[in-house]
């Protein structure tokens, strides 16, 4: 009997611990530039998600919010209402990419407070569950001001029982970012994000583990004689996560997964060196349609994504562009996303956030996103 009770106690403790540490959330970003398709697609698959983030707000050069998405209008109002009915959290995103304006506003205590007050007022007035801060391309000079901003914003949101989510750029380890690491290089490295502060003040940290492209020199060199321009090679994602875990608690880290890709024009030299020229973005739907029109079956590449290449003397509108050119298309699909979800769970992280739901993503992704 004692042995049985001991076994039951151990099992119950394990169950409690496992339940406590394996809370895994699925979030979706919906871009305002594709809000009709994005909102309708999200609504049709709402039960797959725990959180949604209308990619909605922008910021003026003086730190004032711009409601670029018209979040108070349809289709947002219906989507947000339905989300609330289902207990799904709503965290609108604020995108700010003006480097100089961020430095000026966030480093000034008075301007920073005005910016924070407006954000909190917006969140409370419209009954959002919190806010997603996506301030990209900051200078290293903004690091201290940005950390102070997060600390002060977090305190104000907590007073109102609201959540602070921070979306930040992925950081490639130095020995993979540079072909040769020297003392001179190490001395020059300055980061715009203080990961320790972010891990302390943000309730969740969405890591933009996409747009690797040529950011990992070690991997790019390894595949220098073959087509290689990944959105997010799983090998790179593992490196980024391992580094991030040094400063940010695992349960706060949310892995950003992409639903898109890019098209490149490329040339190959006599020595085998490949040069790329980015043509533009290529969502799954458009890539799939292009491959079918060319009679091509995309293949799974070493980064775990889909790719295909072709030669043509015309562009997508069949307009002649001169001599024959070679093109390379690489993009993320449900299989690539499923692998990143697997890694996020293996690392006991807080979840994944899909960028982006716009109606042009691989429809099969909703089969791999399981609550």
Report the run of H or E that residue 132 belongs to, with start and end.
strand 130-135
Residues linked to residue 96 through DSSP beta bridges, in sequence order: 135
CA distance 367 to 364: 5
Mean pLDDT of the chain: 92
Q: What is the mean pLDDT of residues 38-52?
A: 97
**Phi–psi pair at 364, nearest 5 degrees:** -75, -10
Residues linked to residue 355 through DSSP beta bridges, in sequence order: 258
Kindly report the pTM of this predicted structure: 0.91
As a whole-number percent, the residues of the chain with pLDDT over 90 amount to: 84
- Residue 76 near residue 70 (C-beta atoms within 8 A): yes
In tens, the pLDDT along 303-361 reads: 999 999 999 876 555 566 667 899 999 999 999 999 999 999 999 999 999 999 999 99
CA distance 170 to 220: 17
CA distance 215 to 178: 9
- Residue 134 near residue 172 (C-beta atoms within 8 A): no
**DSSP state letter for 245:** T
User: What pLDDT, on the 0 to 100 scale, is given for residue 370?
Assistant: 79
In tens, the pLDDT along 232-262 reads: 999 999 999 999 999 999 999 999 999 999 9
Q: Is 91 left (phi over 0), alpha (psi -120 to 50) or beta?
A: beta
In tens, the pLDDT along 107-164 reads: 999 999 999 999 999 999 999 999 999 999 999 999 999 999 999 999 999 999 999 9
């Amino acid at each position: 009997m004692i042995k049985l009770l001991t076994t039951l106690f151990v099992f119950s403790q394990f169950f409690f611990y496992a339940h406590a540490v394996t809370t895994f959330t699925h979030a979706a970003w919906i871009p305002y530039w594709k809000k009709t398709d994005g909102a309708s697609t999200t609504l049709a698959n709402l039960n797959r998600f725990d959180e949604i983030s209308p990619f909605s707000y922008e910021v003026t050069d003086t730190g004032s919010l711009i409601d670029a998405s018209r979040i108070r209008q349809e289709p947002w109002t219906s989507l947000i209402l339905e989300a609330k009915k289902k207990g799904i959290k709503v965290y609108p995103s604020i995108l700010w990419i003006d480097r100089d304006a961020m430095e000026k506003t966030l480093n000034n205590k008075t301007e920073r407070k005005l910016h924070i007050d407006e954000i909190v007022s917006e969140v409370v007035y419209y009954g959002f569950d919190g806010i997603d801060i996506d301030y990209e391309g900051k200078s290293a000079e903004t690091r201290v001001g940005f950390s102070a901003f997060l600390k002060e914003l977090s305190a104000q949101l907590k007073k109102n029982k609201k959540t602070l989510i921070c979306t930040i750029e992925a950081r490639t380890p130095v020995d993979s970012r540079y072909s040769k690491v020297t003392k001179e290089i190490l001395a020059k490295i300055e980061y715009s994000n203080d990961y320790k502060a972010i891990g302390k003040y943000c309730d969740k940290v969405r890591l933009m583990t996409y747009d690797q492209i040529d950011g990992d020199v070690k991997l790019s060199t390894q595949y220098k004689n073959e087509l290689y321009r990944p959105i997010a090679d799983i090998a790179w994602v593992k490196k980024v996560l391992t580094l991030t875990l040094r400063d940010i608690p695992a349960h706060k880290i949310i892995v950003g997964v992409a639903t898109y890709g890019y098209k490149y024009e490329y040339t190959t030299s006599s020595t085998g060196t490949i040069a790329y020229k980015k043509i533009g973005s290529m969502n799954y739907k458009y890539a799939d349609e292009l491959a079918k029109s060319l009679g091509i079956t995309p293949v799974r590449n070493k980064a775990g994504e889909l790719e295909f290449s072709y030669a043509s003397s015309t562009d997508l509108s069949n307009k002649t562009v001169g001599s024959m050119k070679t093109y390379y298309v690489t993009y993320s699909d449900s299989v690539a996303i499923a692998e990143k979800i697997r890694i996020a769970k293996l690392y006991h992280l807080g979840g994944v956030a899909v960028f982006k739901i716009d109606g042009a993503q691989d429809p099969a992704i909703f089969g791999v996103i399981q609550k």
